[in-house]
Structure 1
Amino acid sequence: MSENTRTHQLIGRISALVLFLLAVAYGIGGSMIEYAFSSDPLGPRFVPVMLAILLGLFTLIYLKFPGTVEGFPTGNALVRVLAVPVTLIVSVALMEPLGFAISIFLLTTVVGWIFGASPKLSLVGGVVHAAIWWFIFSFLLEVYLPTGAIFG
């Protein structure tokens, strides 16, 4: 077995362990959901706990049989890989002060730009995406969305 193959298997196993820890955390969080017993036979805990169990099982299989994986990204690829979760975290942090629509607009625009869209196309995509999700949540599903502290 070559050193390159061992390195790739190690990367696969580390990824599997990270995903397994995520599955455990997700399962614990899902099992803590409180609800009225009469609301639904399965309750709101069922889906997150079931997803956590499935993710945990699949990651254990992947841990045992990691197969081949891509090498760890470097340079520009690493910046792009790290920029997406950072953009997501910033977008979530800005949701309360700026509101849902602006936060989703910024998230979609930046992610589109990260994946190679032109700035103009990223802006158009961000506006359309934010408008569609605002319409779906506010009017079709009648879910409260934060409008942002700066807008009162």
Structure 2
Amino acid sequence: MSDGMSSSAWAGRIGGVCLLLLALAYGIGGSQIEYAFASDPLGPRVMPVLLAVLLAVLCLVYLIRPGVSERFPRGRLLARVLAVPTLLVGSVLLLEPAGFAISIFVLAAGVGWIFGAPFRLAIAGAFGQALLWWFVFSYLLDVYLPVGHLFG
């Protein structure tokens, strides 16, 4: 970098800015929690807002003094790094129309393939993960899981 800042310092600061934005979103979301006034003296908002403030303070410290970190990824590694959150967002968007099982299957298969599993093993592992988590949430924890518009 021409201004004397190393590539690893930039990578650390980019991570700090991303976490700071996450802290802001988490704090705003936590402050929007509705609750009955008589339920608790502090209410359910306090914990998420305090965590958001703590994360924001730590991010600001990290932005001022980023320390040593890895170089920012490039090329194929950058594509793999960006593919995982993209796949996560895609699977969340699939949750309502396709249901929990298909969404988890797509997520697990994609992550397995991104991390180097052969395609057949990624598919087999994703099938096992989808069955496992469906069983755990539906039968052991008795949590409602969306079946999706395609199957429901």
Alignment TM-score, normalising by the size of structure 1: 0.85
Kindly indicate whether the alpha-carbon contact (under 8 Å) linking 2:10 and 2:72 is maintained by their aligned counterparts in 1: no
Quote the offset at 1:46 in angstroms.
4.1
Distance apart, 1:22 and its partner CA: 1.4
Structure 1 stretch 118-127 or stretch 87-96: which is displaced more? 118-127
Paired AA for residue 111 in structure 2: V
8 Å Cα contact 2:105/2:126 also seen in 1: yes
Amino acid at match of 2:59: T
Change (3 A) 1:32 1:76: same
Alignment of 1:5-44 (within 5 A): 6-37=6-37, 43-44=43-44
Is the helix fraction higher in 1 or 2?
1
Counting matched residue pairs gives 151
Cα pair distance change 1:6/1:147, threshold 3 Å: same
1:77 corresponds in structure 2 to 77
Maintained 8 Å contact 2:35/2:44 = yes
TM-score norm. by structure 2 comes to 0.85
Q: Percent identity?
A: 58
The Cα of 1:146 is off from its aligned counterpart by 0.6
Cα RMSD, aligned residues only: 2.3
Gap runs ≥5 in structure 1? none
Corresponding residue number in structure 1 for 2:116: 116
1:110-150 CA-partner distances (Å, limit 9, x unpaired): 00110111222212221221122212221222221110101
Equivalent in the alignment of 2:45: 45
**Contact 1:5/1:68 (<8 A) preserved:** no
Of stretches 2-11 and 80-89 in structure 1, the one that deviates more from structure 2 is 2-11
Q: Is the 8 A contact 2:7 2:72 kept in 1?
A: no
Counterpart residue number, 1:130: 130
Which amino acid is 1:33 matched to? I
Distance 2:50 2:59 in 1: 14
Distance in 1, Cα, partners of 2:91 & 2:145: 14
Q: What amino acid is the match of 1:27?
A: G
Q: Which amino acid aligns with 1:119?
A: F
**Residue 6 of structure 2: SS of its match in structure 1?**
helix
